[in-house]
Amino acid sequence: MPYALVALPLPLRQTFTYRIPEALAARVQPGVQVTVPLGRRSARGFVVGVATSTALEQVKDVAAVLAAPPVSPHLMALARWIAEYYLAPLGEVLAAALPGGLEGFAKSRARRGAREDPVIALPLPERVRLTAEQSAALAAIVPAVAHGGFAPMLLHGVTASGKTEIYLRAAHAAREAGGQALVLVPEVALGSQVVAEFRRRFRGRVGVLHSYLSVGERRRNWELASRGALDVVVGARSAVFAPLPGLKLIVVDEEHEPAYKQSEQLRYHGRDVAVRRAQMLGIPVVLGSATPSLESLANAARGKYRLIRLPSRVDQRPMPAVRVVDLRREAAGDSLLSRPLRAALAERLERGEQAMLFLNRRGHSHYTQCRHCGFVPECPNCDITLTLHMVPREWRCHYCDHRQGASVECPSCRTPMLRFAGAGTQRAEREIAKAFPAARLLRLDTDVARARGRAPGEAGSGTVLGAFARGEADILLGTQMIAKGLDFPRVTLVGVLDADVALHLPDFRAAERTFQLLVQVSGRSGRGKVKGEVFVQTCTPEHPAVAAAVLQDEKRFLDQELAQRREAGYPPFARLAAILFSGRDEGAVERAATAVGDALEREAEAAGVTVLGPAPQALARLRNQYRWHLLLKAANAAKLRAMAERALAVAEASRLKGIRVIADVDPVEVL
């Protein structure tokens, strides 16, 4: 009697055994989706194996085989690796590989027989004249695509050095070799411009996969990709699972971006999964960035990645002049615009040039307090103050999305003495509009990007960026969504309104991220014929990350940062894993974290693994869940993962009621 081993999308690292009825025997194979009984309900899952016997005494039958396409053997193997490496439930990994998850895939129906664009072999445009550095880069990448073989390459190119043209020609080489290319981008906003470039070159043979699309749109592109009807798929993190049977090249643009790491539930890193997928398929993978992560630079230094440099901008365009504005001396009262930045902005507007203003904080004000009674609006579900938003006027939690009306009076004592601090993009928008009433101003942050189809009068990220690219606005104000990858030749001024937003967070990567953001956003200026200028407003101009970004001295920053990381034993000189505990009972969560930490202490020391904690997370309560964590550090990745798996086993054996325990292997933040 055959039995199916079924992985269900549950937070359980195990499979379930079901008897295969004779009527379904020919259809139940690894990769197919099935409906099975689970307690008093039915559940959808994936067949991951077939056995001829079982030691279980009572086994229920597989109820039905779903009509959905099966998961390919390659994607099944990739999912198994992810589950093993990240200590994650296999069923959750497989569900994440489908557009909209397993439920969404089952309910959605793509248009059968949808028109497919014919193959149009477009010649490479003559107007794009490659630099010597671009030609050298392609001389390394194109043969690797044509001949195959695993070849991880780090493309380290300064902003405006022509990395996108490298991606386009590498994808063209993949098509010439009869294959497909996968291009990953960290942000949907960035993806819209990348998609436009690829569609200009490949016409209708380009598909898009990201979470802002409807499940139906994602599934249509998913199916077109699986049939080989697309030459290129561009997408965000989850597109790493795109079913491309002829995949010959993977590109990870802005590889340093933390957005590639899933921060909840299934905590995989899209960049690292892309590298592993390329290794499994024996194809090249290109990781591109103007500010590569320290881990990728370390891999290049060790010879694991081939380093390809583009040290100059195309057409010999100069790098923008970066000027620091010390807000301790140059601040204009409560204004977000210092006197030097205001003057530079007025000058650009008078000349008919464009400007971009960067503030990595959305909303109007992150902190509200009554000066009479001291009242501060706080989220009832999370340990965090509420952010004031003006449209609509409400206090909002940026974690659980709790909302409550915001009045001009204190909700506690009814006096109109509210003080606002921690300015966000909405406040900046109001101030800029008041200072320059004739300027055409656009804002782009998460609130705007999510507004498509929901809030009349607002537009999604693609609409905003398209309007700015066409010259329909003079100023683009935004968060990190505008900081990288975008190419607007008429932008000659970039203003960083507050360089210190994330600089002093209790995270060992805070300085690295600040440096990367400042370099990336500075690179949006001067990409055309007119030299650019950048103003960086800060209260700590002497900080190594800020000083190095202003001086455009990457080596200076890397030397200092690597020395600190080596001394403290953090990546790239060690590997990390976090064991996360959460539950509604604060005391129970603390006891669980302490018990697991105590159990690991002796074993960890013998294995060369350091255990830090347990301690509450920086955001100790999130969505009414109290959160504690242990941090594991080790030089050896295998020993680290074994200790993390041991922690999960101890927690499971302790039968911690009401406590969820998960591992975060290679966390990108340790808050």
Domain limits, CATH 3.40.50.300, in the chain: 132-315, 317-362+424-565
pLDDT of residue 292: 97
Cβ-based neighbour number of residue 510 at 10 Å:
16
pLDDT value of position 105: 58
Torsion of CA 566, 272, 186, 308, to 10 degrees: 70
Q: Which CATH superfamily is domain 3-107 in?
A: PriA, 3(prime) DNA-binding domain (3.40.1440.60)
For the chain, helix, strand, coil in percent to 5 are 35, 25, 40
Ramachandran quadrant class, 424 (left: phi over 0; alpha: psi -120 to 50; beta: rest):
beta
Print the SS3 string covering 74-124. HHHHHHHHHHHHCCCCHHHHHHHCCCCHHHHHHHCCCCCCCCCCCCCCCCC
Residue 129 is classified by DSSP as: P
pLDDT value of residue 459: 44
Helix/strand/coil for 572 = coil
Q: What is the DSSP string of 509-536?
A: THHHHHHHHHHHHHTTSS-SSSPPEEEE
CATH topology for 132-315? Rossmann fold (3.40.50)
Tens-digit pLDDT profile for residues 75-111: 999 999 999 999 999 999 999 988 766 665 555 544 4
Burial of 148 per CB tally in 10 Å (0-12, 13-18, 19+): middle
Amino acid, res. 162: G
CA distance 535 to 338: 10
Residues with pLDDT less than 50, the chain: 109-126, 452-459
Q: What pLDDT shows up at residue 126? A: 45
Listing from the earlier edge strand, what are the strands of the sheet with 441-444? 321-326, 533-538, 491-496, 354-358, 475-478, 441-444
Task: Give the per-residue pLDDT at 421.
Answer: 86
Query: What's the pLDDT tens digit per position in 510-541?
Result: 999 999 999 999 999 999 889 999 999 999 99
Q: Are 540 and 546 in contact (CB under 8 A)?
A: yes
Tell me the C-alpha distance between 523 and 488, whole Å.
11
Positive or negative: CA dihedral 560, 564, 569, 570: negative
Among 287, 290, 292, 291, residue whose Cα is nearest residue 270 = 287
Could you tell me the end-to-end alpha-carbon distance of the chain, in angstroms, rounded to an integer?
A: 51
E strand residue ranges, 292-353:
306-310, 321-326
Of 226, 280, 274, whose CA–CA distance to 250 is shortest? Answer: 274
Cis peptide before 411 (omega within 30 of 0): no
* Residue 253 and residue 183 in contact, taking contact as beta carbons nearer than 8 Å: yes
Phi, then psi, of 595 in degrees rounded to 5: -65, -45
Judge contact between 668 and 516, C-beta under 8 A: no
Element (H, E) at 217: helix 215-226
Q: What pLDDT sits at residue 26?
A: 93
| Superfamily of domain covering 575-665 | Ribosomal protein S10 (3.30.70.600)
Look at phi and psi of residue 157 and say left if phi exceeds 0, alpha if psi is from -120 to 50, else beta.
beta
State the span(s) of the chain assigned CATH 3.30.70.600. 575-665
On whether the CB atoms of residues 180 and 232 are closer than 8 A, the answer is yes
**What pLDDT, on a 0 to 100 scale, did the predictor assign at position 451?**
63
> Check: CATH 3.40.50.300 for 317-362+424-565?
yes
Q: What is the DSSP string of 328-343?
A: HHH--TT-SS-HHHHH
3-class DSSP state for residue 494?
A: strand
**Portions of the chain given CATH number 3.40.1440.60:** 3-107
